[in-house]
Every structure is written in C-alpha cells, then in structure tokens.
Amino acid sequence: MTERKSFLLRVDPSLLESLQRWADDDLRSLNGQIEFLLRKALVDAKRFKPKDDTGESKR
C-alpha cells in the first residue's frame, strides 16, 4: 500500500460543508474527495503524471 502523509488543512466551514456534500454524492470520504480534486487539478494543469498499475508514470 502507498505511504500516506497527513497534514493540517484549515478551510472555511462553508467550503468544508460543500465538499462534504459533494463527497457524499460521489460516495467518497471527505479526505478521498479532497485528494481526488487535488489530483485532478494537478493532472489538468500538467503538473502531475498519474502512475499506471505497475507504478510507472504514464506519458
């Protein structure tokens, strides 16, 4: 399993509430939803290359 690091994130309560509703709609945990959105934003900005099942970066 991939190692995970934790960190403190301070956000506006209304933002957190909206993220929680979205996570519930997508059947994800709040943490999973935030990670999903951050990863998507990085990929869209071409600042992160997702890895395939073998652990290799996709081109």
Contacts of residue 51, defined as CB under 8 A and 6 or more positions apart, other chains included, come to 57, 58
pTM of the model: 0.79
56 CB contacts (<8 Å, ≥6 apart)? none
Q: Is residue 22 part of a domain?
A: yes
Residue 26 near residue 19 (C-beta atoms within 8 A): no
Tokens of 34: 């935030």
Q: What CA–CA distance (Å, rounded) separates 3 from 8? A: 17
- Asked whether residue 26 is assigned to any structural domain, the reply reads yes
User: For 15-54, what is each residue's pLDDT tens digit?
Assistant: 999 999 999 999 999 999 999 999 999 999 999 988 776 6
Number of domains in the chain: 1
Domain annotation covers residue 25? yes
Range of the domain at 42: 15-51+55-59
Residue 6 lies in a domain: no
Report yes or no on 7 lying in a domain: no
